C-alpha cells in the first residue's frame, strides 16, 4: 500500500499473468479490514497486506466461509475479482476504462467480457438519460 495520486491509500502491484501494473484505490471498508491485520505476524514478516500465504490457501478460506454462511456457490479469488469488477465497480458507474486499469488488463476487450453481463446497468443508465431528457423538454417519461 502507498499513497496514490490523490493522497489516498492505494494498492500498487503487477498482475502475474500479464505483468501489467495494477493500481487500485482502496475504499474505506477495505482500509478497515486491512487495518485489522496491520500488526499480524505474517503481514509484518512477509510484507503482506493480509495474512494469506497463497492463492490456494485464500481459496480454502473462501470455501470455508461459503460453507459457514450457507452459500452454495464455490467462492474463489477469481470470483471475488469478478464481483469487484461487476458488482462493486461497473454497476456503480465506474467507467470501464478505470476498471480495466485496476484489473491490470492489457486490452479493454478483456474487461468488456465482464461488462456484457450488465444489461441491468445499461437499463439504469438509459432510464436516467430518459429522465434527464424529459426534464429538459418538460414532459414526464
Q: What's the confidence (pLDDT) of residue 123?
A: 81
| Mean pLDDT of all residues belonging to the chain | 88
60-114 pLDDT tens trace? 999 999 999 999 999 998 898 889 998 899 888 899 999 999 999 988 998 988 7
Determine the pLDDT at residue 139.
61
Q: Which residues contact 25 (CB under 8 A, 6 or more apart)?
A: 4, 6, 8, 9, 10
Q: What count of other Cβ atoms lies within 10 Å of the Cβ of residue 4?
A: 15
Within the chain, what is the greatest distance between any pair of CA atoms? 63
Q: What is the model's pLDDT at position 124?
A: 78
pLDDT at 118: 65
- Work out the average pLDDT over 8-20: 89
Q: What is the pLDDT of residue 117?
A: 64
> What is the pLDDT at residue 113?
84
Q: Which distant-in-sequence residues (6+ apart) come within 8 Å of 99 by Cβ? A: 85, 89, 90, 111, 114
* pLDDT tops 70 at residue 141: no
Amino acid at each position: 500500500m502507498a499513497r496514490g495520486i490523490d493522497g489516498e491509500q492505494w494498492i500498487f502491484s503487477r498482475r502475474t499473468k500479464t505483468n501489467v501494473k495494477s493500481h487500485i484505490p482502496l475504499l474505506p471498508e477495505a482500509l478497515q479490514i486491512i487495518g485489522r491485520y496491520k500488526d499480524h505476524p505474517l503481514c509484518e514478516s512477509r510484507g503482506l497486506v493480509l495474512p494469506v500465504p497463497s492463492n490456494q490457501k485464500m481459496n480454502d478460506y473462501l470455501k470455508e466461509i461459503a460453507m459457514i454462511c450457507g452459500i452454495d456457490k464455490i467462492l474463489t479469488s477469481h470470483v471475488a475479482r469478478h464481483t469487484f469488477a461487476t458488482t462493486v465497480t461497473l454497476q456503480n458507474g465506474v467507467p470501464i476504462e478505470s476498471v480495466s486499469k485496476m484489473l491490470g488488463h492489457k486490452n479493454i476487450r478483456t474487461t468488456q467480457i465482464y461488462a456484457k453481463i450488465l444489461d441491468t446497468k445499461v437499463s439504469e443508465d438509459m432510464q436516467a438519460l430518459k429522465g434527464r431528457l424529459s426534464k429538459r423538454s418538460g414532459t414526464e417519461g
